[in-house]
Amino acid sequence: MARRGTTMFAWAAAVVLVFASAGLRAAQHEEKSLEPTAEEIAAARAALKLSEIPCRIVYETFRDGNWELFSVKADGSDPVNLTKTPDVNELYPHVSPDGTKVCFVVDEYEKDAKDPKSRSAWLMNIDGTGRKKVADGIREACWKGDGTALALLPLEFEKFTYEDYSTKGVRFYDVATGKLTDHPNRDLFHLYNLCWSSDGKWFVATVHGGMGFKHSILAFEVDGMKVHDLKIPGCRPDLSPDGRKIAWGASDWDLFVGDFDVSGPVPVVKNRRAVVRSGEPVKVYHIDWSPDGKYVAFSRGPERKNLRGAPEMIGLRAAGWNICVADAEKTNVWVQITSDGNSNKEPDWAPVPKNGGK
β-bridge mates for residue 68, sequence order: 61
Quote the pLDDT of residue 322.
97
Q: How would you label 48-86 residue by residue, b for 16+ Cβ within 10 Å and e otherwise?
A: bebeebebbbbbbbbeeeebbbbbbbbbbeeeeebbebe
Quote the pLDDT of residue 338.
97
- How far apart are the two ends of the chain, measured CA to CA in Å? 33
The structure's pTM equals: 0.89
Q: For the purposes of burial, counting CB atoms within 10 Å of the CB of 334, is it exposed (0-12), middle (13-18) or buried (19 or more)? A: buried
Quote the pLDDT of residue 54.
95
Could you list the pLDDT tens digit for every one of the 358 residues in the chain?
Answer: 333 333 333 333 333 343 333 333 333 444 443 445 677 667 877 899 999 999 999 999 999 999 999 999 999 999 999 999 999 999 999 999 999 999 999 999 887 788 899 999 999 999 999 999 999 999 999 999 999 999 999 999 988 899 999 999 999 999 999 999 999 999 999 999 999 999 999 999 999 999 999 999 999 999 999 999 999 999 999 999 999 999 999 999 999 999 999 999 999 999 999 999 998 889 999 999 999 999 999 999 998 877 678 999 999 999 999 999 999 999 888 999 999 999 999 999 999 988 655 4
Quote the pLDDT of residue 24.
36
Cα separation, 81 vs 60, whole angstroms: 10
Cα separation, 183 vs 172, whole angstroms: 7
Report yes or no: 194 and 142 within 8 Å, Cβ to Cβ: yes
Q: What is the DSSP letter of 177?
A: T
Q: What is the DSSP letter of 50?
A: G
Quote the pLDDT of residue 304.
80
| Homologous superfamily assigned to 6-350 | TolB, C-terminal domain (2.120.10.30)
Quote the pLDDT of residue 132.
97
Report yes or no: 3 and 341 within 8 Å, Cβ to Cβ: yes
